[in-house]
Amino acid sequence: MTGDPIRRALDDVWYCVGESRSLRPGGMRSVSLGEEAVVVGREESGALFALRDRCPHRGMALSAGRIVDGNLVCPFHGWQFRPDGACAAIPALARRDDANFASVRLARFAVAEKSGLIWVHASANPAGANPDAAPPIPEVDFAYCGQLVEILEVEASFDLVALSFVDPAHVAYVHDSWWWRPSKTMKEKVKHFAPSPFGFTMTSHTAKTASLAYRLLGSIPEVEIEFRLPGVRLERITAGEKRLANYTFASPLANGRTALINAMYWNIPGLNLLKPVARPLMRQFLGQDRDVLQIAQRGLDRKPAMVLMGESDVQSQWYFSLKREFLRSRETGAAFVNPLEPRELRWRS
């Protein structure tokens, strides 16, 4: 990934690239991590692998090939690669060829599955990456019986999409829907924040203005919202024994685009009956963000400077502070030190 470090997606972090169910044993597909193309596949054993999606021979996308006897076969000349990236065969070589292909390898990326999602560790140098030092992959901390995932591509920068996760002022205007939170209910909010690993958390509070989605839980819930690098928003909702998690992620795509991913989990069996209704509402909600972000990006393309003002924009300033500290820690080899302090914030929404 290239460009101004503060104005691009981070390397050496995990990004969500899709649902686990999208890859069956023996299947594979291409995903983008910024300008890096990665082929993610699943072995017959169920194990995942992630390799650079470019055959070193003639640059062919290996994701256009197939898996045969456990090896990834290039569709151009049949070169074969094992899931660890090592070249296993070059069919065109004659017996008297003295070419040694043992040193031919594909760059390998760390890959993991958590809570029904696939994550790939992005690094400009996969061989020297340290996934354990990255912000942890989000997991659901309760036994869920339902899951709903939607993914949209947004023609906007990673930063702009990630900033929408910590922008409370946009909700009343962008998401002014009958089923969510109409703008006529705007009032001053007071929230308390504390630093958390690689980010900050809006500490648990009672949702005084309950949306329709909250009222489905049967009571006014307690809500905690965590943001962490690189672009992860974790909303945890509790109403007695009922639990609901609303997780949102940004993942960088090629050509300055960004994937906007929303995953909801719940432990309430009755909510499974509402999935046919919930899915289009989730798409509408995400589509509202996508549409406004794409228009805003065109304005930033003409003049990239942002004017951040007031306490409603403090979380956006924190985002850039966290990125700077993360980059400093990588450059110096020092441990990441969260630069934030506990604070009360007020805004109208």
Structure confidence at residue 214 (pLDDT): 59
Q: Which residue has the tokens 């945890």?
A: 236
Q: What is the spatial distance between Cα 71 and Cα 91, in angstroms, rounded to a whole number?
A: 13
Phi then psi for residue 223, to 5 deg, are -125, 135
| Whether the model pTM is above 0.85 | yes
Structure confidence at residue 183 (pLDDT): 57
Q: What is the spatial distance between Cα 24 and Cα 295, in angstroms, rounded to a whole number?
A: 37
Structure tokens at 162: 């990630």
Give the Cα-Cα-Cα angle 298, 303, 307 (nearest 5 degrees): 105
Structure confidence at residue 3 (pLDDT): 47
Structure confidence at residue 5 (pLDDT): 54
Q: What is the CA radius of gyration of the chain?
A: 22
Q: Which residue has the tokens 């055959």?
A: 55
Structure confidence at residue 257 (pLDDT): 96
Give average pLDDT by consecutive 10-residue segment, the chain, 349 residues.
63 95 95 95 96 96 96 96 95 81 90 97 78 92 96 97 94 72 71 95 72 63 94 94 96 96 96 92 93 95 91 96 94 93 91
Structure tokens at 311: 């306490």
Contacts (Cβ under 8 Å, ≥6 apart) of 339: 321, 322, 324, 325
> E strands, the chain, where?
13-19, 28-33, 36-42, 48-52, 66-68, 71-73, 80-81, 87-89, 111-114, 117-122, 146-154, 188-196, 199-206, 222-228, 232-239, 242-252, 258-266, 343-348
Structure tokens at 321: 């502070």
Give the Cα-Cα-Cα angle 14, 124, 226 (nearest 5 degrees): 25
Structure confidence at residue 133 (pLDDT): 87
| CB 250, CB 165: distance < 8 Å | yes
